[in-house]
Amino acid sequence: MAIELTDIIMDYPGTRALDRVSVAFRTDEVHGLIGENGAGKTTLVSILGGSRLPSEGRMTLDGEKVSLASPGEALARGIAHVSQEGSLVPSLTGAENILLGGEPRYPGGIVRRGALRDQARALLARWFPDLTIDLDQPVETLPYADQKIIEIVRALRGRIRILILDEPTATLPAREKERLWAIIRRLPAQGVGVVLISHFLSEIIALSDRITVLRDGRLIRTFPAAGATEGQLTSLMLQRGHGPSDGGAQDRRSEALGPPVVEVSDWNIPEARVSSFHIRAGEIVGLIGLTGSGHFAFARSLYDAPDLQGGTLRLGEETVPRIAAHEMRRRGVAFVPDHRMIHSLIGEWSARENLAMVHPEAGAYRAFGILSPRRESTEARAVMGRLSVKASSTEQVVGELSGGNKQKISIGKWLYGAKGRYRLMIFVEPTEGVDIGAKREIHDLLRGLAAEGTAILVASSDLIEIADLSTRVVSFVNGQALGDLAWPNFSEQSFIAAMSGARA
């Protein structure tokens, strides 16, 4: 028995999240699903679980064509989805959570408490007879693994044949994980196939019968898990197949670089520890790592670090006492974050207003900070021209622009009215969700800024981008910065090896 997805396409405004994905999930297997953030895993399982309808494509259940328009419909067809965030009511007991919404009742609607406990116990015993979990305690008092098991038992309440588990161990302490792993391994023997999403590759290899790798919305491969290695999976998740370009006329020799602009030592933030790090004038340093390895958090912490636990940052000759956005901006550090609509732009504002956010004084009369709409328009138009932003005018609302143009505005905020150059510019995912043309323009801009002597830090999950731009690359593994890779020894293979922990 199996559910088969054929040529699934999912289009969101401006991006294609899934591009002709075909895959079959069987009821007698644990099927590992892996890919970097944005590869399309979540979109695929939300289609499978009935939360979204695909733009195109077919789904068949045991050969019969089905269309799952809601999670309820998917449940009726035997497909249940246990999401990453957890869906238990913390203050209710395990038994109450298991039967939530399907409690046994007396006529008149009052819950039969005794029967509720018995039924919940029976359900738990039916699936996992050897487990002892106290179902009479509020679930918030139970170990995380037991909470997850309760969620799974609840999902198995109906006649379930496919169970989707989205990062089930993400919130679990290491010693509790094995308890859950044992549970997951047993389900196929009981007629329930598991679709397992996890960032932990060792877990995927240990638990899965087959593994499917997604990258950029495409299915890369489905293959048996036996014999797979973490290095092989990492490579499939990341490799984009064509080599780095030469980066145009960019001079990437280290002799061309100036003195260090920023120097960091004994840096300690919750997500990463870095004993020593620096960027020289004119240098573009690339940060790479798997999702959650701390490279994005580190990049950001050089501009805004409210939870800095230790370390010093020297900017030129000066040691910066406090790493806060307004301080660093004043000292000539720019920061272009990822997730631009959350971290950088105001969707309802015009391009002009967004651009003027960092240096509004450039569009103002000097006295009292009085804004001049005319000066603002002139300045905004200049920035939009420099970055070739495609918009109907400076007054177009930013939320209506395409991804590439939004990103240009997000970068342009730092060019608007910037009198001199910045000493240091930090970019996280500078071309996230950006079309090829805009991407090339943004890369050229970064090279140009470096050529003027700005120190540039780029953290990106796009390895080609890193290879194209960087003069030096630092790889992060589990919150640790590993040694540098120096230009021109860049290749996807060397990056991937560095990201999976092999010393460069």
> Which residues form the interface with other proteins (CB under 8 A)?
303-304, 325-326, 328-330, 335, 337, 342-349, 353, 356-358, 360-361, 364, 368-371, 381-382, 384-385, 388-394, 413
How do beta strands 284-289 and 455-459 pair? parallel
Residue (4 or 327) nearer to other proteins, CB: 327
Token readout for 495 is 């990056």
Report helix, strand or coil for 28. coil
CB of 318 to other proteins, least distance (A): 18
**Angle (deg, nearest 10), helices 230-238 and 492-499:** 130
Residue (73 or 327) nearer to other proteins, CB: 327
Q: Which one, of 128, 121, 84, 82, lies nearest residue 99 by Cα?
A: 121
Residue (243 or 365) nearer to other proteins, CB: 365
- For residue 213, count other CB atoms closer than 10 A to its CB: 23
CB of 346 to other proteins, least distance (A): 4
CB of 425 to other proteins, least distance (A): 13
CB of 367 to other proteins, least distance (A): 11
How far, CA to CA in Å, does 319 sit from each of 38, 282, 323? 38, 21, 10
CB of 436 to other proteins, least distance (A): 18
Residue (296 or 490) nearer to other proteins, CB: 296
Residue (377 or 480) nearer to other proteins, CB: 377
CB of 55 to other proteins, least distance (A): 17
The CA distance from 465 to 490, in Å, is 11
CB of 13 to other proteins, least distance (A): 10
What residue type is assigned to position 34 of the chain?
Answer: I
Residue (82 or 334) nearer to other proteins, CB: 334
Secondary structure string (H, E, C) spanning 328-372: HHHCCEEEECCCHHHHCCCCCCEHHHHHCCCCHHHHEECHHHEEC
What residue type is assigned to position 39 of the chain?
Answer: A
487 Rama sector, left if φ>0, alpha if ψ -120 to 50, beta otherwise: beta
Residue (145 or 305) nearer to other proteins, CB: 305
Token readout for 166 is 């989205």
